[in-house]
Amino acid sequence: MTGFKEKLENLYLSYKHKFSSKDPVWILHRFQDEKDIELIGLITAAYAYGSVEQINAFIEKLLKKTGNKPYEFTINFEKRKDKKYLNGLNYRFNTSGDLVNLLDSLGRNIKEYSSLKNLFLLNYHDDDGNIINALSDFTGRLNASGKQKSSRYYHYLLSNPIKGSTCKRMNLFLRWMVRKDEIDLGVWGKVDKAKLIMPVDVHIARIAKSLGLVNRKSIDLKFAVELTGRLKEYDACDPVKYDFALCHIGMDKKEF
C-alpha cells in the first residue's frame, strides 16, 4: 500500500500545477468573482462531454455572447426577449433551447437563493456520509425549473444521482467548487471535500479497473462510491484530489 500511495501522490503532484494538461477547468480561472466562477463552472461541467477542444470552443462562444460576464448576463436573462442571443448555440445533442432553459433556471434559482452555493446547501448536512443527497436535491430543483419546452436531452445536462448514474459532470463541478489547489477553485468553503464523490468517466473507470481499485463491473453511482472509498485509504480527507491526474494520464496516454 505504501508504494501505491507514493505513486498516487507523485502523480497528483506532477499534475497539480496550472495548465498541466488541457482541461475546461482553466476557463474558470479567468474569473475572480465567486458568482461568475460557480455559474460558468456549472455550465461548463454540464456541457463537459465530448473532447476538451469541443467543450472549450462551446463555452468560449457562450462567454462571447455574455460579454464575458456570465453572472450578470444570467441574472438579467429574460427568456422571451433574450433567447435570440443564444440562437445557434447547439452542442452535440443539446439544443440552443436547452441552453435557454438552463440559463432561465439558473437565473431564477440564483434570484431566490442568492447563489448556487446556497441552493446546494439547502439539503447539505454535516452528518451526511457524502454529497449524494445534497446533489440530488440541487439538480432536482434546477431540472424542475428548466423542464418547460426543453428537448428530450435537457436533463442530461444536470444528472441526478437518484437515477443511479455516476453523475460524472456534476461531481466534477463539485470538485471544482469545493477543493482548493492550483487546479480547483475552492469557492464553496462550507462543503467538506472528504464528502465528494469521484467524477467517474470512461478514462477513470478504465484506470480504476486496471489498477484493481474497483471490483464492480457496472460503471454507475455504486462504482463511483466504491472507487471513492478505496481512494480514501490513501487520503481520507481529500480522496478526489487524485481525479485530475488519473483522468489525464488516460487522456494523455501515459502510464501509471
Note the pLDDT tens digit of each residue in 42-75.
Answer: 999 999 999 999 999 999 999 999 999 999 999 9
CA angle 241, 196, 40 (to 5 degrees): 85
How far apart are alpha carbons 164 and 219 in whole angstroms? 10
Residues 6+ positions from 117 with CB-CB distance below 8 Å: 34, 38, 177, 187, 188, 190
Ranges of H-type helices in 76-157: 79-82, 96-113, 116-121, 132-145, 154-157
In this structure, the chain runs to a length of: 256
How far apart are alpha carbons 17 and 31 in whole angstroms? 18
Q: Report pTM.
A: 0.95
User: Which one, of 105, 71, 104, lies nearest residue 86 by Cα?
Assistant: 104
How far apart are alpha carbons 188 and 1 in whole angstroms? 32
Residues 6+ positions from 84 with CB-CB distance below 8 Å: none
pLDDT one-digit tens code per residue, 74-122: 999 999 999 999 999 999 999 999 999 999 999 999 999 999 999 999 9
